[in-house]
Structure 1
Amino acid sequence: MRKAIQIAENLISQHKERKRFTNLTDELRPTSTEEAYLAQFEFQANCSRGALAGFKIGLTSVAQQKLCGIDSPIAGGIFLKEIYPSTHQIRLEDYHGLGIEFELALKISKDINPSETKFSSLNLLSYIDSIYPAFELIIDRNADYQILDALSLIADNAWSAGVILGNPIPNWESLQINELNSTLYWNSEPALRAQIKSANPLRSLEWVVNHLGKMGQKIPKDSLIMTGSVLQTRKPLKGDKITYKIENLSKVEVA
């Protein structure tokens, strides 16, 4: 546990000093995913960003996982005061290397407690209260994406920097979530389109519930789960107008 505390203290100091992200090395590099998550929990508890209000999932594609030397997605915490409504204005100077990702957010309707039985995406449907189009904000601290170490990324709270939520998708229970289409509008660029199934949100929820349960953590009622980006991370510039739309059902905007 002492090492996890040291890792967290080092990362918190790096954030305060706005240092570029580099992989943890030598005695500060976690030796396992378990140790990396212990360091993450220490980071969350001591980084002065307030209470947690949910969880994010990253590295959802096999290609991303191979690049980072891991065989599963990763999770991080979302802080309550970093959840914003649509049309939120981003102040780039508040971030050290900001990226935006394009996702569905799931709001949880009741506590999900650790269980000896694995949850499946089907039996988790009853735990979903509402579904939103959302931007995930990440702090990559200008990292070199070609040499990322997954354990260092986990310890650094999976780069979680906040969430911008659109309106809930109406009557989501009657929809085939994975079959929905999404569209990204970025200034006057040609629109980019992706199917939601490229992130498979329900499978992502299944993974994070079982992952946290294995570590003895429950997911409280009203938690927000960010389920992975359907498009490549983009870096915004001052004045960019960005809209992410789920068919004609809902959208989220930022300026």
Structure 2
Amino acid sequence: MAEAGEQETVSLEESTDESEEEESEEEPKLKYERLSNGVTEILQKDAASCMTVHDKFLALGTHYGKVYLLDVQGNITQKFDISPVKINQISLDESGEHMGVCSEDGKVQVFGLYFGEEFHETFDCPIKIVAVHPHFVRSSCKQFVTGGKKLLLFERSWMSRWKSSVLHEGEGNIRSVKWRGHLIAWANNMGVKIFDITTKQRITNVPRDDISLRPDMYPCSLCWKDSVTLIIGWGTSVKVVWFVL
């Protein structure tokens, strides 16, 4: 009887282990829907190079220098001819009323979607990233940053003139930037830096874990979870950085 009991216990344990393995092997399933309508038409003639998502719409940049605004069904609501070459990045403020765009030929444009252009400049090198102030719609927050070989901050003065200042340079190309509240985070070849736009001071530096990985092949991904929490994904590592303000 004891032997039978042991056999039953073993068989139960084996069946439990097998069921747990089957459950663990199941991949999580996410509901998704492929964008169609205008997106299908765009991709027949062009290729997507970047995309930014807002609560109200999607902004799609292409290799032929176009920027399309789309609704959630993929219908085109607006089209902008920015450049003859690839759009590298699109940035939107929180209101969804202002957009920053940069392209491979060095063009940077920051403009209101409903009120006309704010800024237009062509630099002598490709501009890889752009980020507008989250509250750009306010007159006191007319600021944005661009990145190529250096990170530049542009601010509009009370006389409506734009002035620029260098926030960082000398550590390779600026490859990613995210702006949340008064904090700007950016990544270059050496690591991630965070700048406080209110105090105009850099507050911390997060070095790369694996400097052997090529930054152009394994770019850094930045995501603000909230106003004080930054998630950094780079190569095989993920870091969560909290700020005590």
TM tier relative to shorter chain:
under 0.3
| Structure ranking higher in strand proportion | 2
Max Rg structure: 2
User: Highest relative contact order (Cα 8 Å, sep 6+), 1 or 2?
Assistant: 1
TM-score normalised by the chain length of structure 2? 0.24
TM-score normalised by the chain length of structure 1? 0.23
| Structure ranking higher in helix proportion | 1
